[in-house]
Chains A and B, each alone.
Chain A
Amino acid sequence: MNRYYWIVGAFAALVVLLAVGLGLNPRDVPSPLVGKPAPAFTLNQLAAPEKTFSPKDMQGKVWLMNVWASWCVSCRAEHPILVEFSKKVDIPLIGLNYKEVRGDGGFDMSKMPPEEEKKLAWQRANQWLSEHGNPYTLTAMDLDGRVGIDYGVYGVPETYIIDKAGVIRMKHTGPITPEVLGKKILPLIAELNK
């Protein structure tokens, strides 16, 4: 009899282990960048192409960086939440447009001159924001995705919270849900702004 308890116990433990494993999100890879200074970059701005943006411009502020692109389907799902957020919360929300043209997959990049890529990227990004609303304080254009690599971007949309000292405090991969916003992002912002 004793021995059956043992087997049932082992089986139950296995079930629990597998159930927990199924509940985890395999895309939720812990980022090594959390707790590290936000990587530096200088990119042109969407609204004012002659101006550039660098994370160091935000020194002394708590800010969010949201990686997006017009071809990214999940970004569309997340967008209304960001628009709502920008109306309610007075915190800079910087957009990082990630591979607007190259990431689309519908263009033969070997045949596209850089000037044309630039023009197309600006045009597409602007159009998307005018259609869906613009929650961003400004958007920086990462045409070739190199800045994305520095930030460990692998699945757009991604969102970073950066503190006053320029350290990344949180990274969220995938669309922001009301739950993530309410339970993780807003409390963290409140804490960092203390």
Chain B
Amino acid sequence: MKRWLLLIFAVFMVSTATATDSATEAAIANDPVAEKRLQGLSEELRCLVCQNQNIADSNAELAQDLRREIRGMIKAGKSDKEIIDFMVARYGDFVLYRPPVKGITLLLWGGPIALMLLGLLVLRSYLKKRARRLAEEERPLSADESSRADALLKDNNAS
């Protein structure tokens, strides 16, 4: 119990520490509109050092540098597209959390849909087979079959 409390406390400390970090960063910036754009852009961009974080969340050195670069470009009046292009030219499509649809990313975008279609096809053939099997099982016995069954039952009783 004590250990759990300690752990929760530690996690809390870490999260407040990062929260104040970004708070000071926000305080330095004085233009709320530019900050909002920076926030939006950096949420779209992957931090290449810690690849599962975007550069808004990451506190890696490179993410800080890239936020500084973006801030500079916003101040210089660059459009969002120009800023994204700047990043892609340097780090490739991998820097985008939503990579463009093109030859090399086709599997990435089409894969899930293809898998779902495949799943649907398998499901359909299974259901068809199942329906056929059930129909087979529930069909009343034919005259031939019932006479054979009778014979078997009689046989059983006799012995």
Contacts and interface: CB of A to CB of B under 8 A. Distances in A.
Q: Do A and B bind each other?
A: yes
Interface of A: 26, 29-33, 99, 102-103, 105, 145-146, 149-152, 154-155
Contacts of B49: 154-155
A164 to B, nearest CB: 23
Contacts, number: 39
B88 A32 contact: yes
B89 A26 contact: no
B156 to A, nearest CB: 33
Given A99-B61, A105-B61, A149-B69, 5 more contacts: A29-B91, A32-B93, A33-B89, A145-B61, A152-B91
Nearest to A102: B61
A32 B90 contact: yes
B contact patch SS: helix
B40 interface: no
Interface of B: 48-49, 51, 61-62, 65-66, 69, 88-94
Contacts of B94: 29-30
Nearest to B88: A32
A151 B66 CA distance: 13
A32 B92 contact: yes
Contact of A150 (B61, B90, B92): B90
A145 B48 CA distance: 15
23 contacts: A26-B51, A30-B92, A32-B88, A32-B89, A32-B90, A32-B91, A32-B92, A32-B93, A33-B89, A99-B61, A102-B61, A145-B65, A146-B69, A149-B65, A149-B66, A149-B90, A152-B90, A152-B92, A154-B49, A154-B62, A154-B91, A155-B48, A155-B49
A contact patch SS: loop
A13 to B, nearest CB: 12
B7 to A, nearest CB: 26
Contacts of A33: 89-90
Contacts of B66: 149
Nearest to A153: B62
Contacts of A30: 92, 94
